Amino acid sequence: MSENVPPVQTQSQDPDQEHDHDHEALTSPLLPHYQRASNSTSQLAIVGVNVCPIESLDYEYEMAFLVFFLSNLVLTLFAAIITTFISPAAAGSGIPEVKAYLNGVDAPGIISLRTLIVKIIGSISAVSSSLLVGKAGPMMHIGACIASLLGQGGSRRYGLTWKWIRFFKNDRDRRDLVTCGSAAGIAAAFRAPVGGVLFALEEMASWWTSGLLWRAFFTTAVVAIILRALIDVCLSGKCGLFGKGGLIMFDVYSANISYHMADVPPVLLLGVVGGILGSLYNFLLDKVLRVYAIINKKSVTYKIFIACTISIFTSCLLFGLPWLASCQPCPLDSTEDCPTIGRSGNYKKFQCPPGHYNDLASLIFNTNDDAIRNLFSKNTDAEFQHSTMLIFFVTCFILSIISYGVVAPAGLFVPVIVTGASYGRFVGMLFSSHTNLNHGLFAVLGAASFLGGSMRMTVSLCVIILELTNNLLLLPMIMIVLLVSKTVADAFNGNIYDLIMKAKGFPYLEVHVEPYMRQLTVADVVTGPLQVCHGNEKVGNIVHILKTTNHQGFPVIDEPPHSESPVLYGLILRAHLITLLKKRVFLRTPVRIGSDAFRHFSADEFAKKGLGNVDKIEDIKLTEEEMEMFLDLHPFTNASPYTVVETMSLAKASTLFREVGLRHLLVIPKRTTGSPVVGILTRHDFMPEHVLGLHPLLVNSKWKPLRIALPRFLKIF
C-alpha cells in the first residue's frame, strides 16, 4: 500500500496565504486519487496515489460502490436461496422458535440437521452482506440444534447415529439438552458463560430444576474454556481478525470511574427514553414482520425479491451516508493509526484528505463488533460529531427493523446493541457538561436501556453486559437503566420475542393464567367429537381414525364383555398405533395377548422418532383381510395418564398442564354413568383465542396490564 501524497501546494511566502491555498486545494477539481477496492463486504481499502482529474476519481468511487453493492447482493441472495429452498425454519434469529419448543410446541424442522447447516452457512452469508443483522440469535439456535441431534442419537436419515447416546431419546432429556445448547450458544456469542446460563433461565426455559442449572453451567464453562484456547491460538496471528474482534468483546474497564448524584438524572432519562424507543422498536418490527408474512405467502419469488430489495437499499444507504459527514482532523494523542485504511479501526479515511478521518464512515464501514467497540471506547469524547451520532442511530434503527424480516438467518441482539449504543452516546454528548461519565460509558448504558426496552430482560442482560464490557463498577447504573427501561416499555407492549411468537402463531403457554379461566371448568372448553379406541380394536377402525383425524393421542377404553362396565384404560399415541400397524401383529379374534406382544418389538421402535423420520398412515398398505383383524392395544397403552374431573377449574388445569409439561390431559366425568371419558385437552384448548371464541362474553375479564393507549391513527396499522 503506497503512501498518501498531500495536495499540491502553490508557492507562497505568507503562511496564512499558504493555509488558504491548502483549503482551496481540497475543493478544487484536483484532488488526491483514491483507488477503492473491496477488502470485505463491510470494509473498503483506500490506496493513495498522485493527484488526478475529478472524472477519474468519480469513476473509482463508482467502481467501489459497484463492488460493494454486488458483493452484498450476491451474499444476501445466496442466504435467501438456501434458506427458502432447503430450510425455511432457519430464517430469523431462532430464539422465538426454540423458546416455543422448550414450552412444548413441537413445530417441524425447528432443530433439525438441515436447519443447523443452513443456519451456519446462511448466518455467515447474511452477516457478511452488510445487512444490519446479528449472530447471537443464530448461534443460540445452532447450539440448540446440536443439542437436539445429540439427544436423538444423531441423524438416521444421513447415517449419523450414535447408539451410546440414545439414552436421551425422550422428550424431557431432549428438552433439557436443548436448554443447555441455547445457553452454550449465547455464551459463545458474547463470551459470557454466566450470562448464557441466566439467559436460558430467564428467557428460554419454561421448566427449570437445580439439576438443569448445574448442567447448563457446566456446558457454558466448557464453552468458555474452548473459546479461550482458540483465542490464544489466534492471537498469534494465524486466524485473521478472530483474536482481535471477530467475537463480540468490548473491554471498557476503567479503575477510576466516579459518579455522583448529579449523574443519576441523565441516566434515568436514558432509561425512560430507552424504554419508549424499545417499545416503538417492537411495535414497528411486529408490523413489518406481519407485512412480510403476507407478502411471503404469495410465492417463493416474493421472498427472494424482498431480500434483494433490502440488500440494494442497505448498500445505497451505507455508501451514501458518509458523504454527509464532514472530515475531522486526526487527534494528536491517538493510540492507534489515524486514518486507518482497509482494516478495522476507529478512524476511517473514506474521502477525506491525509491526516483526516470520516467519523460516520468509521462506524458504517466496519463490522458490527468493531462499530460497537468504537462507540464503547473510552477517552474518545471528541471523536464523533452530534450529527454523526444522530444519523447513525436513525439508520441503525430503520435498517435493523426492515432487515430482520428477510428470509435469512438474522439475529436481533447485535443490531439492538449498536442502535442503543449510538443513542446512548448521543445523549452523553448532550449532557457532557453536566456529568462526569464519558461518552463511551453513556454508550454502554444506552445499549442496556435499548436492550431492556425491547427484550424486557433484566438479570441476564445485566450480567451479559458486565461480561462484555469488563466493568463491574457500572453495575449500579446498568441495573437502574434496565429496570427503568423495562418498566416504561411494559406500559406500551410486550417482549419482542413474545410478539414474534404470536405473529408466527406458536401456541405458547404463559406462566400466569387469564382471570376468566377461574370462572370456567374444563368441561366448558372440551370440544368434540371425541375419538376413542377400544382395548381390542379392529384394524380397519384404527386406520379410519388415523386417516380422518390429526390427533396425536387417543383414549383407550374397555367395555363389556372385557370389563364389568365401561372404564378408561389409558392413552395411546398416534405414533405407537402406526408402529403396531407396520409390524402387523394382528389377531383374528379380539383377545388379549399379554406380555407376549413385546417379543415382536424392541424399545427403540417406540422411542420418539427424529425429525423427518415420522411414519405416516398413508405409507402403510393393508389388505382387506388384514383390515378385518384385531389389535390388542393393552400392552402398548399408557395405563396411568394424567386426568382431571370435568368440574375442575380451567385455571388449575392450565397450571397442571404447563408445569408438568403435558401434551394430553384426559377429562373424566364426575359421575360414573355413561362414557368413562368426557374429552381430551391439548395445548390448543388453553389458548385465549380458543377459550374466548367459545365464551366471547368473557373478553372483558382478560388481564389488563398498565398500557398507554396509542393514538387512533396508529391503531389502523
pLDDT digits (tens, 9 = 90+) for 77-111: 999 999 999 999 999 899 999 999 998 887 778 88
* H helix runs in 50-170, sequence order: 54-85, 95-102, 113-128, 136-151
Weakest-pLDDT range from 6-20, 453-467, 522-536, 643-657: 6-20
Average pLDDT rounded to a whole number, residues 526-535: 85
The pLDDT of residue 561 is above 80: no
The pLDDT, as a whole number, for residue 513 is: 85
Assign a CATH topology to domain 71-236: Clc chloride channel (1.10.3080)
The pLDDT, as a whole number, for residue 562 is: 75
Dig out the grid coordinates for 155 from the structure: 441423524
Angstrom distances, CA of residue 155 to CA of 148, 167, 603, 668, 688: 10, 15, 18, 40, 37
Q: How many CA atoms lie within 13 A of 36 on its CB side?
A: 26
pLDDT in tens, 118-162: 999 999 999 999 899 988 999 999 999 998 888 776 555 555 566
Q: Which residue has the higher pLDDT, 161 or 33?
A: 161
The whole-angstrom separation of Cα 207 and Cα 178 is 12
Angstrom distances, CA of residue 545 to CA of 22, 338, 482, 715: 88, 74, 53, 45
The pLDDT, as a whole number, for residue 284 is: 94
Percent pLDDT > 70 in the chain is 80
How remote is the C-alpha of 82 from its chain's centroid? 19
Weakest-pLDDT range from 80-84, 563-567, 691-695: 563-567
Assign a CATH topology to domain 277-504: Clc chloride channel (1.10.3080)
Percent pLDDT > 90 in the chain is 35
The pLDDT, as a whole number, for residue 398 is: 94
The string over 96-120, giving b where at least 16 C-beta atoms fall within 10 Å of a residue's C-beta and e elsewhere, is bbbbbbbbbbeeeebbbbbbbbbbb
All structural domains of the chain with their residue ranges: 71-236, 277-504, 516-700
Q: Is cis: bond before 529, omega within 30 of 0? A: yes
Q: How many CA atoms lie within 13 A of 147 on its CB side?
A: 29
* Range 516-700 classified under CATH 3.10.580.10: yes
Dig out the grid coordinates for 662 from the structure: 403435558
DSSP string, 109-139: TTT-HHHHHHHHHHHHHHHHTT-S-BSHHHH
The whole-angstrom separation of Cα 579 and Cα 652 is 34
| Residue whose grid cell is 367459545 | 694
Q: pLDDT band for position 1 (50/70/90)? A: very low
The yes-or-no answer to whether 71-236 and 277-504 have a common fold is yes
The pLDDT, as a whole number, for residue 289 is: 93
pTM of the model: 0.82
Q: Which residue has the higher pLDDT, 28 or 598?
A: 598
The pLDDT of residue 708 is above 90: no
From the number of C-beta atoms within 10 Å of its C-beta (0-12, 13-18, 19+), residue 617 rates as middle
Q: Which residue has the higher pLDDT, 607 or 486?
A: 486
Question: How much is the mean pLDDT over the chain?
Answer: 81
Average pLDDT rounded to a whole number, residues 349-366: 84
3-class DSSP assignment, residue 302? helix
List phi, psi (to 5°) of 571: -135, 135
627 Cβ contact partners less than 8 Å away, ≥ 6 residues apart: 538, 539, 540, 543
The whole-angstrom separation of Cα 337 and Cα 611 is 52
pLDDT in tens, 580-613: 888 887 888 888 776 666 677 766 666 666 555 6
